[in-house]
Amino acid sequence: MKITPKELRQIIEEELEAVMEDGHTDVPSAIRKLKTSMEDAMQILNALEQMPDTELPSWWMSKITLAADYLNKSRDYLLVSEEVNEVYSDKQRRWACAQMRDGFKGERSLTKKQAKEMCTGPMLKAGDKK
């Protein structure tokens, strides 16, 4: 099979895009990224603590809000099990049940299925460890 120069260029471009995108899905890569994120967050926090109480640009606050939301959803993915036999603390159960209500005004961090499962699943007893 002969490849034309145009096809070769397309193959190379696709491979380069794949290499340039992170694509790492292993635990050590996630740990490295989280450590970098923690360092960045600490530097931002330290800078903010040195600043007077002034208004910050809305575009900047949007980025902070989005980053916090992504971290929250990532945490939920790892800590909120899809298993039916998962045991939940009272705080987790109340949060899940609150998200199921129609009038809930906060950020929904659980799917309807997760919220229903947590709201109706077994409860963690005092002194038990999850």
Q: What is the mean pLDDT of each run of 10 residues along the chain (130 residues)?
A: 75 66 71 90 93 92 90 83 56 78 73 77 53
- Residue at 103 is within a domain: yes
Predicted pLDDT at 23: 59
What domain count does the chain have?
1
Predicted pLDDT at 22: 55
Predicted pLDDT at 43: 92
- Residue at 119 is within a domain: yes
Q: Which domain, by its residues, includes 110?
A: 79-125
- Residue at 44 is within a domain: no
- Residue at 42 is within a domain: no
Predicted pLDDT at 106: 72
- Residue at 109 is within a domain: yes
pTM for the predicted model, two decimal places? 0.46
Distance CA 4, CA 22 (A): 29
- Residue at 41 is within a domain: no
- Residue at 23 is within a domain: no
